[in-house]
Amino acid sequence: MRIILLSNKIITLVSPLFLILFLIIFDTDNCRSQSENIIDSLTKMINSADKNLLSIDKREEIYNQLADIYKVVSPEKSIEFYNKSLEIAKEQNDLQKQAKILKDIGSVYLLKLINYNKALEFYNKSLNISIKANDKNAMAACYNNIGVTYNRMGQYEKAIENQLFQLKINEESGNKKGIAISNSNIGNIYNSLSENNKALEYYLNSLKISNEISDTNAIANALINIGVIYQEIDSNDLALEYHYQALKLKRISNDKINVANTLSNIGLIYLKFKQVEQAYENFSQALDIYKEIKFNYGISLSMLNIASVYAEQKQIIKAKASFFDALKIAKEIEAKPLIQNIYYNLFVLFQDNKFYKEALDYRILYSLVKDSLYTTEIHKQIAELQTKYETEKKENEINNLTKEKEIRGLKISQQELKITQQRIQTYSLIFLLFLLGVSAYLLFARYKLRQKNFQNELEKNNLIIEQKLLRTQMNPHFIFNSLNSIQSFISENEAFLAESYLSKFALLMRNILDNSRMEFIPIEDDISTLRLYMELEKLRFNNKFDFNIIVDPKIVTDFTLIPPMLIQPFVENAILHGIMYKETKGTIDVIFKLMYNTIRCIIKDDGVGREIAMEKKKKNSSKRKSLGLQVTKERLELLNEKRKTSISIKIIDLKDETGKAAGTQAEILIPFEES
C-alpha cells in the first residue's frame, strides 16, 4: 500500500497484493521464548547419545519441525535443516517428500530472504520431481508458487502462464479450492498490470467458487481484493460494502492482521469522501491492532494515514508529529519505499504551508531515497546475472570433466587409437575451418549491427540534446519576461505589494528550475507554474484580465506527464498582444482535453485579434523580438520526429456575429506519458 500526498489532496494506491504480502507475519516477541524452548527440546533429542535409536521417520520429522521454527528467527538455519530432511527423503527415494521439502526451501527464499532467483530454482526442482511422481496437487502448488514469484519480479507474462497451468490442473482434478486460489492469483497479476476489469473478473470468480465450497477465509480474502479494485476505480460505495463484509468475517476468524488491513482500506475511502472523523477512527483502530501484534510496518503506515488526516484538517503541528513518528519506525525497519513516501508527504505539507526551506530539504531527501532504490535494484539485477553466469560456467566445467573421464576409460587398442586420432584431427581441422568461417561472418554481422545501433543511438542523443537546448532557450525567455513584470510593478506600486509579488516570483523561479531539468513533468506541476505566471501578470497589469484553467475530468493530472513550458508562450501572446490592446477588461481561458494519445490544449482570449494587434505593434517603438512561439514550434517538431507523431499548433481568429474580430484561439496537441 502506498500513500502519496500531492498538492493538498491525498491519493492512495492500494493493491490487492497487500493482503497476500502481509499474510506471513510473525509476532516474534510473544513467541520467541516458546520457540526457544521447543528448539532446545528438539535439538537435545536429535543430539542425544541415543540418537541412533530414533527412527529415520522421527529424525526427518524433527528436522522439519526445526526448519519450520527457524523460518522466523534464522532463515539460513531453516534451509540447513530442510537440507538434512531432504537427504533422508533421497535415501528413502520418496519423491513426494523431496518435492515438498524443495518447495518449502523455495518459500524461505521467496518470503524470508527475498531471493527470487533461488526461489525459482527450488520451485522448478520441486516441479520436475512432482511431474516425475505424477503428483497433480504438488504440480499445481509449484506452478502457483512460480507464478507468484514471477509476479513479484514484474515478469507478468510468465506469471500468468504458470497460474494458467495451475488453473488447468485444478479444473481437470475438480479441485475447487485450488481453482479459487488460481483465479485470485491471476486477478493479482492483472491488478499489477492495472487491468482492473480483468482483475475484477477473476476476483469475482474466486468469490463465487469460495462461496460454493463455504471456505470462509477464501471468501473474506476475495471480498477484500474486490473492495480494493472498486477503490482503485473510484466506486467507493461498492468498495465500502465489500470491505465491511470482509471485516465481519475476519473478526469472526480473529484474523487480526487482515482486520487491521481492512480497517485501513475503509479509512482511506472515508478520507476520499472528506469524512475525516470516520477516517481517523478506522486508522486508529488499525493502529491499535498493529501495535497489539507488534507489526511495525503497519504501525508506521497507520501513523502516516493519521498524519494525512491531520493534514486534511490543517492541523499542521499534529500532522508533522505523526509524520515524524511514522518516519522513525520506517527507518528502524529499513522500509525504504515507506521512507520515500513519508519524505514526499513532508515535502508537500511544508510546501503547502509556505515553509519553503523545509520543503526543499525533504524534496531532496525524497529524491535521494528514490534514486537509491533504483540503484539498489540495478545492482541486484547485475548480481543475479553474475550468479547465473558463474553457475553455468561451473556446470560446463563439470560436463567437460565427465567427458574426459569417459574418454580415458575407453579401452582401445593402439591401432584403433591411432585411426581414431587421425579421424579426430581431420574432423577437427574441418570443424576449425568451418568455425573460423562462421566466426568471421558473425563478427562482421555483429560489427554492422553495432554500427547501426551506434548511429541510431547517436541520432537519438542528438534529438535529446536539441530538445534540452531548446528548453534552455525557453526558460531564460520566460524568466526575462517575469523580471520585467517585477521591475514594472516595483516602479509603479507600493513596497508591500512589490514584496508579495517577489515572493510569488521566487516560487515561480523554483518551479521553473525544477521543471527545466526534466523532459516530461506532471500536468499538475505545469498548470501550477502557469497559474503563478498568470497571477503575476494580472497583478502587474492592474487586474486587466481574468483567467480560467479548465481540466478534463478524464485527465489524471498527477500521473499524466507533458513536456514543460509549452503553453506559457501562447498565454503570454494572449496577454501582451490581445488583452493589453483592449479598452475593457479581458478574459483568458486555458482548457485541457483528453484526445486519444494526446492532450488538446486550447488558449482562448477575447482580445482585439491578430490583425489589430499587428497594427498596434508596428506603431510601437519597441524592437524586442519574441522567440517563445518559434521555440515552442521547434520543440514540437522534435517531438514529432522522435515519437513519429503528427503534433501541431493551430491559430484561429475569432469573430463575432457581425464578423468583427473577437479574440484569438490557439490549439496545441501535446504528447503525454503516464507515470
DSSP sequence for 140-174: HHHHHHHHHHHHHHT-HHHHHHHHHHHHHHHHHHT
pLDDT of residue 143 exceeding 70: yes
Q: Of residues 31 and 60, which shows the higher confidence score?
A: 60
What is the torsional sign of CA 491, 492, 493, 497?
Answer: negative
pLDDT of residue 15 exceeding 50: no
pLDDT recorded at residue 383 = 45
What span, in angstroms and rounded, lies between the C-alpha atoms of 500 and 504?
A: 6
Cβ neighbours for 285, distance < 8 A, ≥ 6 positions apart: 260, 263
For the segment 253-271, the average pLDDT, to the nearest whole number, is 89
pLDDT of residue 263 exceeding 60: yes
DSSP string covering 307-356, please? HHHHHHTT-HHHHHHHHHHHHHHHHHTT-HHHHHHHHHHHHHHHHHTT-H
pLDDT recorded at residue 468 = 53
The SS3 call for residue 546 is strand
Which secondary structure element, helix H or strand E, spans residue 392, and what is its range?
helix 356-408
What span, in angstroms and rounded, lies between the C-alpha atoms of 563 and 464?
A: 12
CB 670 within 8 A of CB 519: no
pLDDT of residue 546 exceeding 90: yes
Percent of the chain with pLDDT over 90: 15
- The CA radius of gyration of the chain, in Å to the nearest whole number, is 33
Identify the residue whose cell numbers are 510593478.
Answer: 489
Condensed to tens digits (0 to 9), the pLDDT of residues 414-468 reads: 666 667 677 787 877 888 888 888 878 888 877 778 777 766 665 665 555 455 5
Nearest alpha-carbon partner for 298 in 521, 101, 27, 499 = 27
CB 283 within 8 A of CB 264: yes
Q: What is the mean pLDDT of the chain?
A: 78
CB 519 within 8 A of CB 467: yes
CB 148 within 8 A of CB 189: no
Tell me the pLDDT band of 597, cut-offs 50, 70 and 90: confident
Nearest alpha-carbon partner for 565 in 631, 642, 650, 644 = 631
What span, in angstroms and rounded, lies between the C-alpha atoms of 562 and 542?
A: 31
Domain residues of the chain, as ranges? 295-396, 460-674
pLDDT of residue 402 exceeding 80: no
What span, in angstroms and rounded, lies between the C-alpha atoms of 437 and 439?
A: 5
Condensed to tens digits (0 to 9), the pLDDT of residues 184-223 reads: 888 888 887 778 888 888 899 999 999 999 988 889 888 9
Q: What's the grid cell of residue 370?
A: 528514490
What span, in angstroms and rounded, lies between the C-alpha atoms of 302 and 291?
A: 10
CB 189 within 8 A of CB 17: no
Tell me the pLDDT band of 497, cut-offs 50, 70 and 90: low
pLDDT recorded at residue 613 = 82
What span, in angstroms and rounded, lies between the C-alpha atoms of 273 and 254?
A: 29
CB 572 within 8 A of CB 611: no
CA contacts within 13 A on the Cβ side of 70: 21
**For domain 460-674, which architecture applies?**
2-Layer Sandwich (3.30)
CATH class of segment(s) 295-396: mainly alpha
Residue 102 CB neighbours (<10 A): 24
Q: Of residues 23 and 215, which shows the higher confidence score?
A: 215
**Residue 607 carries which DSSP code?**
S
CB 652 within 8 A of CB 665: yes
**Residue 583 carries which DSSP code?**
S
Condensed to tens digits (0 to 9), the pLDDT of residues 288-320 reads: 998 988 888 889 989 999 999 998 888 989 989
Cβ neighbours for 251, distance < 8 A, ≥ 6 positions apart: 259
pLDDT of residue 104 exceeding 80: yes
Please give the sequence-ordered ranges of beta strands (E in DSSP) within 516-613, or none if there are none.
Answer: 521-522, 545-551, 560-562, 586-595, 598-605
What span, in angstroms and rounded, lies between the C-alpha atoms of 139 and 130?
A: 6
What span, in angstroms and rounded, lies between the C-alpha atoms of 365 and 347?
A: 9
Tell me the pLDDT band of 589, cut-offs 50, 70 and 90: very high
pLDDT recorded at residue 606 = 92
